[in-house]
Structure 1
């Protein structure tokens, strides 16, 4: 790009800030940004400076409330609202770092992030983390836990969120559920101060010690579990096989022997047989079924299209190619005036007519989508999708929803309220408060820059999506990741073997940004 052309294009930055950019100027700027890295740097520097000044000149009280005009709700676009509400001064530097990454050649991130090895301890025999589900350890600085990390002998670990599985060198495994405080005392010994823990000691790995505040349990094989309240009250359960329980304080008390189904509180109290299923406080023998990770194609250093899903279903982990997934297309959609409704990749124009609907189902892109469904007042259903073929309820997850989430928003993901869209007598709703892969997950990939198109009038139908006018939001976002959550049809009232054709999204306080919705085959 010549110096004169650079000056001409960069002069349009002020027009963006002033809101006077014409359609032709917008197209010229978009094309130039795609082609020129120096221009992208200059653009983001200018935007950062403007946003910094804008933040200094306003307070939260200056942000307008939602207003209603002519019976329609003015919906704030969460892709732009952050600029005036929670923009941080350090974001300018982060933007420049992200821009510099645009020059990196096509790379694919490692499936397993580099493990952090804690210092000290008997590392030759230290257990290691082997499975995680939204697990966060306070002792690791609050960072998400990943597979392959060593657990330092003698170090206290406080699991504040999620579920964590570790494996000993012998092959024995332990699963902890938050909130839980535990310490690895040795190569085959765990001290649990509070919380839930279960141990699986297969043949050859018997003898795992579970130390509580006042008792010692030994798993003689195959599985046992303990639940310790904050008060120190404990309970040991032999789920399958045998275990022993003895007092740490009063050695005169006899050791109790437990067999499958036996439950025992503090030593000295008689064990008893469990009736029916084991209590939920101790019956934790594996991590929950969930989406573990996904892989994608990359443009520069940013994720674009889904390639594979790794999912745990009924306790079994498998990787699924995208061609084996069942895609869903939108068949009903509502949203408000001024809402960001379409999401496209940087440099792409909004399609016309039927092709607009393909932004959700016509590709495997994690960047493009039909976003922010919001039902009109008095109505519940904001969006309904239909799968290419019926989704059969099998053990474990049956549907996966991908959500585009800006880094400044809820790390757990947008709240979801779902129900069956089929004609059924009983249609229970399912509320999703946390995604399996949230913003803080090491498996949430940074997305290729995207832009949004805002509605000039309320969207009430599929025809509106195809025919109404939508305006480019003028902002290119490079600070988003793709989150993922697995849905089990059993939670929507389906029996095993029953099938679902349509899925409904109900109104929530915040809009979700679905960029891909897929079903899993049995």
Structure 2
């Protein structure tokens, strides 16, 4: 083949693998493949190179940028067979043509089909830096759009829960029905989408927001990032901006920093068009008729989000293969916009000082091989399953509750045990200082057939003062369907011989010796922010009261509670991107 023909074949082969051939180019590639065996052999060499580079990227980074059909990728130990020249026979060319068309279309169809699903990527978005390689990189190793973080997010109609590092498919409608998600494009542009929203990633430079809110930050090098809406197109000029699109297609655009150019859909259809340049502090509304009008200045800046909400991000536990499985090791939280990881031994412990149920008598759990004696005693052994134990298979379950949160002090000392308040009370070993974000982490054992959002519960002061109130937690930061929830090993559930009304009864009563729990369970987690109870910043809190919210027949099952150490008095620097 000539140099020009070889070059053209390489271009068309590359585009075929990446599903970017036009109809004319497709026909051109078919014609080239029918010209000679040499051309066809070169085509297979190019396919091997494309998929070989993609496979190398998977091995080095853990991220898959191309589907790898085994029928196309030749094993390394398989030698290439020399072509055998045979005389042409009647009917050979039509058969050859059909075969080559099939070989050409198969990788493209395979690649197209793979775009409907999300490729599992590395959970660390910032992968290891690749060693420099000589020559041009044909197959890109970085996805067009990748998930950086999620906060209580739930997508409708997706086959599984997303995780940080997952790649989003192109030209696929994503319906975010709860929470928020932070995305990063290959160009470096970052985007936070808030539910409810429907969006489509067209490329690393173009995202269609059909409805919902998004905040965009484009650092140097990512200029030109575009967000399309039903009535407008916003082009970044090195800036931070937000867009809110309602169900009628009306878009509210606000520029926080830098500048952005806004085009109506009518303007973008014209061969030569210029848009409206908005600078920092300016905003416009493109209504459902495509008209550009002034926005509500009093609401300016409320849509833009530079970071995801403070929350419990993740937790680490020992695996089931460990001699001590399901043991909590570390908790990572975002507090005041800053990500902080705490070793379990850094968390502030507590003493269980009160426990009373409503009806449920299954109040204790241990690992399967750790059997609690049937008969109670005068020690605090059982209380320590919750307040001294780091294993998430141990806990004090099913405390009582109330559909109505407390508005006055709970009764935890009445001599008449029947008059005590259902729930549990804890006293921390040292004061919990109310800081930014969550101040306490709460872990709950949750059976997989129970509601995926977790069991709601009330948190209250043990001593009410002016300004203090109860707070109901209805959603967990890490829910049952979240990628970060932890599947527990086998455990025992213990049923007591009576309804427990006090901590002494919990420790002294007899139970059935424990039975293996038949239904799988996971551990989920959420944070407790003392500010939600009315405590001012810097306030010191020693005790809390926790009750099930009695929304259904399922109760909370606490297996671990820990207080966070005080944060540094130095406020975190203002973030320069949407990344935490």
What interval of TM-score do these two structures reach, taking the shorter chain for normalisation?
A: 0.7 to 0.9
2:389 corresponds to which of 335, 341, 363? 363
SS at match of 1:442: coil
Q: Helix, strand or coil for the counterpart of 2:400?
A: coil
Normalising by structure 1, we get a TM-score of: 0.72
> SS at 1:249's partner residue?
helix
Contact 2:418 2:501 in 1 (8 A): no
Contact 1:225 1:238 survives alignment (8 Å): yes
CA distance, structure 2, for counterparts of residue 324 and residue 126 of structure 1? 39
Name 1:131's counterpart in structure 2. 149
1:514 lines up with 2:567 in the alignment = no
Structure having the higher strand fraction is: 1
Q: Over aligned residues, Cα RMSD in angstroms? A: 2.7
Q: Does 1:349 align with 2:367?
A: no
The structure with the largest alpha-carbon Rg is 2
Cross-structure match for 2:311: 290
> Are residues 1:440 and 2:481 paired?
yes
Change (3 A) 1:391 1:171: same
- Do the aligned partners of 2:149 and 2:183 also contact (CA within 8 Å) in 1? yes
- Residues paired across the two proteins, number: 408
What is the CA-CA distance between 1:220 and the residue it aligns to?
2.1
Please give the per-residue CA displacement for 1:106-129, whole angstroms capped at 9, x wherever unaligned.
Answer: xxxxxx998898954798551111
Deviations 1:89-118 (A, max 9, x none): xxxxxxxxxxxxxxxxxxxxxxx9988989
Corresponding position: 1:193 with 2:216: no
1:389 aligns with 2:433: no
**SS class of match (2:535):** coil
Counterparts of 1:116 and 1:305 in 2: how far apart (Å)?
Answer: 35
When residues 117 and 323 of structure 1 are mapped into structure 2, their CA distance, relative to the original with a 3 A threshold, is farther
Q: Does 1:265 align with 2:285?
A: yes
Deviation by residue 1:297-322 (Cα, 9 ceiling, x = unmatched): 23437942100112111222232111
Of 443, 460, 465, the match for 1:424? 465
Q: Is 1:476 aligned to 2:517, yes or no? A: yes
Q: CA deviation at 1:214?
A: 0.9
SS at match of 2:191: strand
Partner of 1:232: 249
- Is this contact kept in 2: 1:450–1:478, CA < 8 A? no
Compute the displacement of 1:329 (Å).
2.3
Contact preservation (8 Å) 1:167, 1:173? yes
Q: Distance in 1 between matches of 2:65 and 2:386?
A: 38
- CA–CA separation in structure 1 for the residues paired with 2:359 and 2:152: 36
User: In the alignment, is the contact (CA less than 8 A) between 1:113 and 1:146 conserved in 2?
Assistant: no
Equivalent pair of 2:490/2:516 in contact (CA under 8 Å) = no
Output one character per residue of 1:12-33: Cα deviation in whole Å (capped at 9) or x when no partner. xxxxxxxxxxxxxxxxxxxxxx
Conserved 8 A contact 1:113-1:442: no
3-state SS, counterpart of residue 298 of structure 2: coil
Aligned with residue 275 of structure 1, among 273, 298, 312:
298
Q: Give structure 2 stretches of 5+ with no counterpart.
A: 1-60, 68-110, 116-139, 402-416, 568-580
Paired position in structure 1 for 2:47: none
Deviation at 1:334, TM superposition (A): 0.5
Distance 1:178 1:338, change over 3 A: closer
- Map of 1:241 onto structure 2: 258
Determine whether 1:409 maps to 2:450.
yes
- Given that residues 317 and 329 in structure 2 are in contact (C-alpha distance below 8 angstroms), is that contact kept between their aligned partners in structure 1? yes
- Return the alpha-carbon distance in structure 1 between the equivalents of residues 304 and 463 of structure 2: 35
